Amino acid sequence: MTTSTLTEAAPNAVLRDQSMFQGTWTTISGKRPAELLFAGRHFTVRFLDGELYMGTFALSPDGHPRVMEMSIDEGPDHHQGKVARCLYDLAPDALRWCAPEPGSADRLTVFPPVQDKRYLSMLFRREQSQPRG
């Protein structure tokens, strides 16, 4: 195996997952109903209680569970400039996602139950685009 083969494996996994994230996701379970939008490396989270977060994300898909770091550029003052170290499990139309408090040094290694009040743990489904007619 050549060095270029080793270095291409991780970027390919990142690009695969990044591509799968693209689009709009809506919560189906979790304590804070939200809509999550991914476009390129950018995200927007619109919680139905009115809070809005925007920023960029980076993926580390080689572990289990996989890790996403979300850098918050816009949002409530106490979270701006912080990073949320999230876990994710991704399928074409389903996303399991969990985050500790933004800025926390906690690095989760397993998904906590959705009911665990210490973390924001949610299940999303992909929104299907409506046919135009």
Specify the pTM.
0.85
- Name the DSSP letter for residue 100: -
How far separated are the first and last CA of the chain, in Å rounded? 51
CA 125/CA 64 separation, integer angstroms: 21
pLDDT at position 105 over 90: no
Give 58-82 pLDDT, tens digit per residue: 999 988 899 999 999 999 999 999 9
Q: How far is CA 63 from CA 14, 17, 87, 100, 109, in A?
A: 12, 13, 10, 18, 9
Percentage of the chain beyond pLDDT 90 is 76
H helices present in the chain, as ranges: 3-21
Which domains occur in the chain, in start order? 12-126 (2.40.128)
Residue 118 CB neighbour total at 10 angstroms:
11
CA 70/CA 50 separation, integer angstroms: 19
> Among residues 106, 110, 99, which one has the least CA distance to residue 72?
99
Spell out a b/e string for 66-83, using b for 16 or more CB atoms within 10 Å of the CB, else e. Answer: bbbebebeebeeebeeeb
